[in-house]
Amino acid sequence: MAELFGTDGVRARINTGPMTAEVVVRLALAAGRWFADHNDRPSNARPIVVIGKDTRISGYMLESAMVAGFTSIGLDCRLLGPVPTPAVAHLTRSLRAELGVMISASHNPYHDNGIKLFGPDGFKLDDEIEAEISALAAGSIELADAPDVGRARRMLDSVGRYVEFAKSTLPGRTRLDGLKLVVDCANGAAYRTAPDTLYELGAKIVPLAVSPDGFNINENCGAVHPQTMATAVVAHGADAGICLDGDADRLIMADETGAIIDGDQILGCLALAMQERGKLANAAVVGTLMSNRGLETRLGAAGIALRRAAVGDRYILEKMRQEGLNLGGEPSGHVLMTDFARSGDGLLTALQMLTLLKTSGKKASALFNSFVPSPQRLENLQGIDPAVLYDENLQRDLAKIEASLNGNGRILVRPSGTETLVRVMVEANNEQLLNEVMTALILRIKAEVK
């Protein structure tokens, strides 16, 4: 069996590759075996795994496959139903479970699905553990004796537990009364948790994409299509807008004018506020190779260093833990605040931003636009095998194109970690130079395709 895990768990089109019931049962058997063998519970107590999912129609199939595998090993399953990825991370710790599972393909369309695993500490698994689980899945796996087969039951209060946790992250008796908010839940995992939390905190809510049918997750809504939310902000005269993705671990916002506020702007806003309050650890934050140079400049002027990690929230978190930092994020809207959570959490990030908005007395347009971005453009090149990027001649030509910027910008060409495509980013001091360089890059990469 091939290596199962990619850069963010296991992901594929349903009923292809690793997203078949057969392979998912094997994955659950292997993960269950690994954690059953590495737990410190008394011998008469079965290990526990919590399983959450988003709203994709295939979630039922994958959930059943996971339960079959885990109970065969002797693990007890707690089924959370549709909840955000960060709720799984939180409840894994809260319930003292050995393992947490989120069934979701995040921002991808309904026909994809995926599996993310969390350890008992609420963090995503290390690469080494994922490799060991993959190796176990390829071999013979010892099953439990008949009396030791695990049980499965649904938790009816998982949404309420997470909502109360989310509210508990706000300081003191903070309320959001007086704020009118558009909330786009992407027809995904947060379709109940986000509106419920914000309503209970006193905000007036205009909900969007809160009617999942198994097929409409992320369809022209959510964090990958924020313009729907932004348009509604202006139409309803709202103070701000919130966009989550399918599993609600990322956040994109809009100010009262309908201007989109991406993850870089959110990261800048939070960093500056935390620095002012003396809450920013070691006067530094972690971004990625994609983070805008304008953010780096603005933070530097405030005495805050921007550390860059590889693209992906797991690499951000890894660098944060290495350097003792408590804030990181990427332009796509993954923001990690380790004072509150062990994973990216779109709702918790929104609550922190809305608290700043409420207490500052400013308009969102004045508060949320934390820096002037450098011109940046991102293109996704479909139908190109990412392996072409390893060609030495191509790499040499890409370096020459970047050198032509004369220090007035930068380029980043990389394979997607979750989809079959090549991502091309260009940053430059002006739009004309940016467009010229982007055109040259795309033509050169496409010329490599035979």
Residue 60: predicted pLDDT = 97
Kindly tell me if the per-residue pLDDT of 271 is higher than 90: yes
Question: Burial, 323: exposed, middle or buried (Cβ in 10 Å; 0-12, 13-18, 19+)?
Answer: middle
Residue 2: predicted pLDDT = 52
β-strand partners of 260: 254
Phi, psi of 143 (to 5 degrees): -95, 165
* Token representation of residue 433: 């130079």
Taking the C-alpha atoms of residue 404 and residue 65, their distance in angstroms, rounded to an integer, is 53
Residue 314: predicted pLDDT = 87
Taking the C-alpha atoms of residue 195 and residue 217, their distance in angstroms, rounded to an integer, is 17
**Among candidate residues 222, 166, 172, the one with its CA nearest the CA of residue 194:** 166
**Cβ atoms within 10 Å, residue 247:** 34
Most confident of 127-136, 249-258, 309-318: 249-258
- Range scoring the smallest mean pLDDT among 313-327, 373-387, 432-446: 373-387
Kindly tell me if the per-residue pLDDT of 1 is higher than 60: no
Burial state string for 143-159 with b = 16 or more CB within 10 A and e = fewer than 16: ebeeeeebebeebeebb
Coil, strand or helix at 79? strand
Residue 115: predicted pLDDT = 96
Contact present, 7 and 44 (Cβ < 8 Å): no
**Per this entry, what is the length of the chain?**
450
Mean pLDDT score, 21-28: 96
* Token representation of residue 430: 């002006």
- The amino acid occupying position 165 is F
DSSP for 208-233 reads ES----SS-TTTT-STTSTHHHHHHH
Q: Which of 106, 134, 291, 374 is catalytic?
A: 106
Could you identify the residue written with the tokens 């399953």?
A: 77
Q: What percentage of the chain reaches a pLDDT higher than 70?
A: 98
Q: Which domains does the chain have, with CATH numbers?
A: 10-156 (3.40.120.10), 161-367 (3.40.120.10), 376-447 (3.30.310.50)
Q: What percentage of the chain reaches a pLDDT higher than 90?
A: 77
106 in active site: yes
Mean pLDDT over the full length of the chain: 93
Per-residue pLDDT tens digits for 51-95: 999 999 999 999 999 999 999 999 999 999 999 999 999 999 999
Per-residue pLDDT tens digits for 199-235: 999 999 999 999 999 999 999 999 999 999 999 999 9
Predicted confidence band of residue 417 (pLDDT cuts 50, 70, 90) = low
Sign of CA dihedral 210, 212, 216, 218: positive
Residue 43: predicted pLDDT = 67
